[in-house]
């Protein structure tokens, strides 16, 4: 082993006959990359191969919302319009309690059935809950809040709205 005070010349040779010595920079970079990969896999517990594609996620989301009696379900195709996701789904629940329940059930189904982790915002108040799977963004509103923000008008011209009645 050879050590020097300067970071650039700090070398570690683990065994005699080892032809290449690792520099501190090599060790730090490999540790950082390994730690980031391990932390990412631990946080999501999903590998890219096992994760469902955006179309299967969208299909399951629409089915789940319809089964749970969400109202005025609108799907918006975002491909080619923005990089935030492939699809956006907007729907309403009749009350704050139903909005929270729709979000919770949908998140559980996506995780259990498709192995897709979701991030949820706004579940505490139940006025507007956002679920993000990375590929599909779901907005669940109380009717008054949805009318106030009118997200559909922001993302679609009037003739493109796709609504699923439940």
Q: How far apart are the C-alpha atoms of 34 and 86, rounded to whole Å?
A: 30
Does some domain include residue 49? no
Secondary structure letter of residue 159 according to DSSP = G
- CATH number of the domain bearing residue 61: 3.30.460.10
- Residue 159: predicted pLDDT: 46
60 shares its domain with 36 = no
Q: In the predicted model, what is the mean pLDDT of the chain?
A: 75
Say yes or no: 95 and 122 in one domain: yes
pLDDT at 100 exceeding the cut of 90: yes
Structural domain range at position 32 = 7-44
Return d(Cα 91, Cα 137) in angstroms, integer: 11
For the chain, what is the domain count? 2
| Residue 155: predicted pLDDT | 81
Residues 73 and 132 in one domain: yes
Please check whether residue 67 lies inside any domain of the structure. yes
**Is residue 74 a part of any domain in this protein?**
yes
Output the pLDDT for position 47.
44
Question: Cα(45)–Cα(59) distance, rounded to whole angstroms?
Answer: 22
Q: What pLDDT band is residue 3 in, cutting at 50, 70 and 90?
A: very low
Band (pLDDT 50/70/90 cuts) for residue 43 is: very low
Q: Is the pLDDT of residue 150 over 70?
A: yes
29: tokens are 């970079």
């Amino acid at each position: 082993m050879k050590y020097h005070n300067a970071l650039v010349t700090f070398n570690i040779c683990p065994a005699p006959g080892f032809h290449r010595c690792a520099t501190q920079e090599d060790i730090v970079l490999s540790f950082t990359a390994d730690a980031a990969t391990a932390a990412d896999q631990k946080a999501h517990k999903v590998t890219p191969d096992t994760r469902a594609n955006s179309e299967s996620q969208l299909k399951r989301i629409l089915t789940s919302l319809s089964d749970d009696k969400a109202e005025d379900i609108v799907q918006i195709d975002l491909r080619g319009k923005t990089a935030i996701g492939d699809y956006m789904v907007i729907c309403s629940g009749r009350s704050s309690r139903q909005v929270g329940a729709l979000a919770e059930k949908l998140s559980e189904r996506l995780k259990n059935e498709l192995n897709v982790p979701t991030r949820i915002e706004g579940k505490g108040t139940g006025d507007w809950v956002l679920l993000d799977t990375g590929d599909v963004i779901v907005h669940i509103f109380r009717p008054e809040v949805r009318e106030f923000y009118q997200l559909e008008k922001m993302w679609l011209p009037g003739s493109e709205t796709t609504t699923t009645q439940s």
